[in-house]
Copies of this chain bind each other. A is one copy, B any other.
């Protein structure tokens, strides 16, 4: 009898494959370990998405893990992005319909916005938004369709724009890879640029751009819209002197998000 954990796991999985379910007491007897150890084995297998944990044992898992690997989230400027999210959330009002495009900064915005517990409609092409909205009854999530891009966990392209053209939002929250007063908003992906542009064009209220300081003054490959279309820029305190120029730009309100404590 294999005494190592990996051997037990293999045995458990084969039992589940054979019978559909297993129970803790039987496994403990068959493998000559305590029930506690079996429980820990099952918990681990469940965490890896290999089995479905139930009271008293486990069952085969045909469906997928609910919680995917989006935990990696904002690896670059987590504190700044979280602060930006909080700041933008304070601008959202009950009943708003929001366009939110994809990206790690706007993901943090969605996280902060759904936490408000306000009645909202969110229209986004960020697939990961699902996990944030899933358990929030008060948020209606409309996902843009289109071609799925694994790298960015988003959908984009002309099919997305088609759906966007049917919806008018009263605020757009746009993450960018580059924001410059001369070149406007820009992203490295053509399809993303198209979808983002469609969102902005179908917004009747404020267009809020979110960008960490390192994006300010940067120009990426594909232009989305000109800077004049932007009403509010929410960024952090690392934008450098270009921020000062932007603050004097007519029609553009610059908000610096506080990374508190």
Using a CB–CB distance below 8 Å, which chain A residues touch chain B?
A: 1-7, 10, 20-21, 23, 25-26, 52, 54-66, 68, 70-71, 74-75, 78, 81-82, 104, 107-108, 127-128, 130-135, 140-148, 150, 155, 159-160, 162-163, 166-167
Contacts and interface: CB of A to CB of B under 8 A. Distances in A.
A94 to B, nearest CB: 19
- Main SS of chain A's interface residues? mixed
A105 B150 CA distance: 24
Contacts of A141: 147-148
Given A6-B54, A128-B63, A159-B163, A145 B147 contact: no
Contacts of A62: 74-75, 78, 81-82, 104, 107-108
Contact of A142 (B56, B71, B140, B148): B148
A130 B23 CA distance: 32
A81 B61 CA distance: 13
Contacts of A2: 23, 25-26
Contacts of A26: 1-2
Contact of A159 (B21, B127, B130, B142): B142
Contacts of A68: 131
Nearest to A21: B7
